[in-house]
């Protein structure tokens, strides 16, 4: 414990902590929140009232995690004054406090550590009725055997004596210098505040005459609000569409009669740690101990490249989905009527749609609110959607909804009700601009089966030959046939989502529209009936072949696929020549193998001649075999020469045929 009897101040970290602890969340002294706009970008624009007194100051307390966003966004609406600026404590008051103190925060853990850092400070130490005043020389540690260690403070007394004082819990320490007392008190206050460092007091200075009320607006992080749709199918191609917003009050303070607006745009949301300290990095210049500046060798000027301007065009494609209108159906008496919802005002902006709740919201901090924002009868139709990529033989039931409201609708989850059957499934729905439609799939239609079969077909449509290279224009065609077996107890409208193939042209008698990734094919299937849908994709590609090196089989394939008989005949002629060349090459390889074998036999015969006595029967036999082998080698060479001459002749004929193709 640290006492200062002269100033009657008692310093205790725990006491200072409780005195300085800020209220959690927003301070009750802040002006009331009048409106909040929740953005789908995860931010909230908060508007609150503030009273300005004669000093022109607006005092607010902010949660620490909101300070950066408030610093980047706060504005004041006041027709009678001018904003001069905003002040608040720094990001780490303790660090700033201890920066200019002769001791650290850790030194406050014990009297011994603190006194050790305050050498030369005048103190008064009292223990067991004895008192000593003087200058602190330092602190040492004395070994007390079984009792452990003790801290001893050495003090130079006013009469010149050096006195050692045991620093026990009963030792009272009084700092006799006002500056030291103030430094210790300021340090303890900073430590206490730091233990509850969850808020910052912000002061806005606004000039102007008179006390008045102004409006303060700023942006802070907030949970993303969600959308949950309900749709009830109705007769005559209609449906009742309700959209409900789900939002949370995570501001840290209760809302009392707050005007709430929900923004469905996709704003660019950024953050920056404006409240942190940043120091400019400076390059350290070393002391120059070198022999002096030595110019570096010249490497020559860099070449300058002139870049030609290019004209690039970006094409955008893809048709927006739209809802289909069903033929009028027989009127059915609904078992119940969906209650109307109080949805308030919806406004379409340049890049966002805003939905303002029609009632002031009172919501405790941490609570959740769900409220309707859309309620309208729109055009809709229930269809069965087949997606080939799924690998399933059944389509899925879906509802095609047209956004006939005046505003864009955000994406969300959708619950589908049938007017007679009740709940039939859930779906996801993407954002819908006004006037566009979306398809929401909610259940598998197991009463309908669809099989598919794809047959590719490649045909050459033209052939050109130039400088020995054949270029074939090939039409690649892929036809997919969908065989549909309808439901046995009801008619169906089937929508097939056929995948797009970039670079291919597409045709189908049943195509009604296309998305960015699929062609939509629509067909009506009567009760218990069957239908067939054909989808054809085509494209033209080029194939090139060097005729001199193209083999017989490939030439025959080209001849078979050729679009005209004359070209086919020429290709067959080339194939015949290439076949003869290939046959000669095979014969030459066989002759070469035979020659290699005869050469190995000659080596064996020569070895036998060396190994036996001349004139012996074995010697004569070896000589005869050697002569016969030599004769066969000569015959092989003669045949090879003849074949090579024939090969050259055929190659010349092939070259002439290619030249005159």
pLDDT digits (tens, 9 = 90+) for 319-336: 333 333 333 333 344 456
pLDDT of residue 306: 41
Tell whether 72 and 195 lie within a shared domain. yes
pLDDT of residue 290: 55
pLDDT of residue 500: 95
List, in order, residues 6 or more apart from 657 with CB less than 8 Å away: 570, 573, 574, 577
Indicate whether 305 belongs to any domain: no
Instruction: Give the residue-averaged pLDDT of 131-156.
Output: 86
Tell whether 460 and 587 lie within a shared domain. no
Instruction: Give the residue-averaged pLDDT of 297-312.
Output: 37
Q: What is the mean pLDDT of the chain?
A: 82
Q: Which residue has the higher pLDDT, 510 or 332?
A: 510
Which domain covers residue 509, as residue numbers? 449-547
Tell whether 557 and 607 lie within a shared domain. yes
Tell whether 210 and 230 lie within a shared domain. no
Indicate whether 90 belongs to any domain: yes
Tell whether 184 and 255 lie within a shared domain. no
Tell whether 262 and 394 lie within a shared domain. yes
**Token duo for residue 397:** 């039931």
Q: Is the pTM of this model over 0.75?
A: no
User: Per-residue pLDDT tens for 419-441?
Assistant: 888 899 999 888 889 999 898 89
Indicate whether 166 belongs to any domain: no
pLDDT of residue 101: 82
User: Per-residue pLDDT tens for 355-367?
Assistant: 999 999 999 999 9
**Would you say residue 61 has pLDDT above 60?**
yes
| Residue 568 pLDDT grade (very low, low, confident, very high; cuts 50, 70, 90) | very high
Indicate whether 409 belongs to any domain: yes
| E strands, 406-448, in order | 412-418, 422-429, 437-444
**Would you say residue 406 has pLDDT above 50?**
yes
- Taking the C-alpha atoms of residue 479 and residue 456, their distance in angstroms, rounded to an integer, is 6
**Would you say residue 22 has pLDDT above 60?**
no
Please list the alpha-helical segments (H only) found in 467-564. 552-561
Indicate whether 278 belongs to any domain: no
Indicate whether 152 belongs to any domain: no
Tell whether 20 and 106 lie within a shared domain. yes
Tell whether 634 and 564 lie within a shared domain. yes
**Token duo for residue 644:** 């090579």
List, in order, residues 6 or more apart from 354 with CB less than 8 Å away: 37, 261, 262, 263, 264, 346, 347
pLDDT of residue 58: 82
591 and 632 Cβ atoms separated by less than 8 Å:
no
- Taking the C-alpha atoms of residue 4 and residue 578, their distance in angstroms, rounded to an integer, is 113
**Would you say residue 181 has pLDDT above 90?**
no
| E strands, 25-178, in order | 33-39, 43-52, 57-63, 75-77, 81-87, 122-127, 130-143, 149-157, 162-166, 172-175
Strands 345-348 and 422-429, bridge-based pairing = unpaired
pLDDT of residue 193: 63
Tell whether 72 and 6 lie within a shared domain. yes
- Taking the C-alpha atoms of residue 32 and residue 48, their distance in angstroms, rounded to an integer, is 5
**Any idea which of 18-22, 219-223, 489-493 has the lowest mean pLDDT?**
18-22
- Taking the C-alpha atoms of residue 561 and residue 475, their distance in angstroms, rounded to an integer, is 11
| Residue 521 pLDDT grade (very low, low, confident, very high; cuts 50, 70, 90) | very high
* Domains: count for the chain: 4
From 387, 438, 373, 443, select the one nearest 415 (Cα to Cα). 443
**Would you say residue 609 has pLDDT above 90?**
no
Tell whether 490 and 538 lie within a shared domain. yes
Last residue of a domain, one of 429, 444, 459: 444
Indicate whether 306 belongs to any domain: no
- Taking the C-alpha atoms of residue 570 and residue 657, their distance in angstroms, rounded to an integer, is 8
If you ran DSSP here, which 8-state letter would residue 223 be given? Answer: P
pLDDT of residue 460: 93
Last residue of a domain, one of 512, 547, 582: 547
Last residue of a domain, one of 520, 547, 574: 547
Instruction: Give the residue-averaged pLDDT of 219-242.
Output: 92
**Would you say residue 15 has pLDDT above 80?**
no
List, in order, residues 6 or more apart from 449 with CB less than 8 Å away: 393, 394, 484, 485
Indicate whether 28 belongs to any domain: yes
Tell whether 395 and 526 lie within a shared domain. no
**Would you say residue 196 has pLDDT above 90?**
no
Give the rounded percent of residues in the chain with a pLDDT score beyond 90.
44
pLDDT of residue 613: 83
Tell whether 466 and 435 lie within a shared domain. no
- Taking the C-alpha atoms of residue 434 and residue 547, their distance in angstroms, rounded to an integer, is 60
């Amino acid at each position: 414990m640290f006492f200062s009897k002269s100033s009657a101040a008692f310093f205790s970290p725990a006491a200072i902590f409780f005195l300085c602890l800020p209220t959690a969340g927003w301070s009750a002294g802040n002006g009331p929140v009048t409106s909040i706009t929740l953005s789908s970008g995860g931010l909230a624009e908060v508007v609150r009232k503030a009273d300005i007194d004669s000093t022109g100051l607006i005092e607010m307390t902010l949660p620490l995690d909101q300070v950066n966003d408030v610093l980047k966004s706060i504005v004041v609406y006041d027709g009678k004054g001018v904003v001069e600026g905003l002040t608040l404590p720094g990001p780490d008051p303790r660090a700033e406090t201890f920066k200019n103190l002769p001791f650290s925060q850790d030194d406050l853990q014990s009297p011994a550590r603190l006194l050790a850092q305050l050498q030369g400070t005048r103190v008064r130490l009292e223990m067991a009725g004895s008192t000593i005043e003087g200058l602190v020389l330092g602190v040492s540690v004395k070994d007390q055997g079984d009792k452990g260690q003790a801290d001893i403070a050495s003090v130079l007394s006013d009469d010149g004596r050096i006195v050692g004082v045991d620093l026990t819990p009963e030792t009272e320490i009084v700092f006799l210098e006002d500056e030291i007392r103030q430094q210790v008190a300021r340090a303890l206050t900073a430590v206490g505040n730091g233990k509850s460092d969850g808020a910052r007091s912000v002061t806005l200075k606004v000039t102007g005459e008179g006390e008045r009320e102004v409006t303060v607006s700023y942006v802070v992080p907030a949970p993303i609000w969600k959308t949950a749709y309900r749709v009830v199918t109705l007769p005559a191609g209609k449906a009742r569409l309700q959209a409900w917003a789900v939002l949370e009050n995570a501001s840290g303070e209760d809302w009392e009669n707050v005007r709430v607006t929900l923004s469905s745009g996709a704003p660019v949301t950024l953050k920056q740690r404006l409240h942190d300290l940043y120091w400019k990095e400076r390059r350290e210049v070393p002391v120059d101990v070198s022999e002096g500046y030595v110019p570096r060798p010249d490497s020559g000027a860099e070449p300058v490249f002139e870049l030609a301007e290019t004209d690039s065009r970006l094409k955008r494609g893809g048709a927006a989905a739209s809802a289909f209108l069903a033929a009028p159906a027989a009127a059915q008496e609904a078992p119940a009527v969906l209650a109307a919802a109080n949805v308030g005002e919806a406004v379409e902006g340049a890049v966002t749609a805003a939905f303002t709740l029609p009632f002031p919201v009172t919501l405790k901090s941490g609570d959740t609110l769900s409220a309707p924002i859309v309620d309208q009868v729109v055009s809709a139709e229930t269809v069965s959607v087949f997606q080939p990529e799924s690998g399933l033989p059944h389509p899925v039931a879906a509802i095609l909804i047209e956004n006939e409201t005046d505003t864009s609708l955000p994406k969300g989850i959708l619950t589908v009700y049938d007017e007679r059957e009740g709940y039939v499934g859930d779906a996801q729905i993407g954002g819908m601009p006004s006037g566009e439609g979306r398809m929401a799939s909610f259940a598998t239609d197991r009463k309908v089966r669809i099989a598919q079969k794809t047959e590719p077909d490649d045909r050459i449509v033209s052939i050109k030959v130039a400088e020995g290279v054949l270029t074939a224009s090939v039409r690649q065609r892929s036809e997919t046939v969908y065989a549909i077996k309808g439901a046995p107890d009801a008619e169906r409208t089937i929508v097939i989502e056929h995948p797009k193939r970039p670079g291919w042209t597409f045709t189908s008698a049943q195509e009604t529209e296309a998305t960015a990734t699929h062609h939509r094919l629509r067909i009506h299937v009567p009760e218990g009936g069957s239908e067939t849908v054909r989808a054809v994709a085509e494209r033209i590609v080029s194939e090139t072949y060097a005729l001199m090196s193209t083999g017989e089989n490939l030439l025959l394939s080209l001849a078979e696929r050729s679009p005209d008989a004359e070209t086919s005949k020429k290709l067959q002629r080339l194939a015949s020549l290439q076949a003869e060349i290939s046959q000669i090459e095979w014969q030459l390889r066989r002759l070469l193998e035979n020659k290699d074998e005869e050469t190995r036999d000659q080596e064996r015969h020569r070895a036998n001649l060396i190994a036996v006595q001349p004139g012996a029967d074995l010697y004569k036999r070896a000589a005869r075999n050697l002569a016969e082998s030599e004769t066969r080698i000569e015959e092989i060479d003669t045949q090879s020469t003849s074949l090579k001459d024939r090969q050259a002749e055929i190659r010349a004929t092939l070259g002439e045929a290619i030249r005159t193709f």
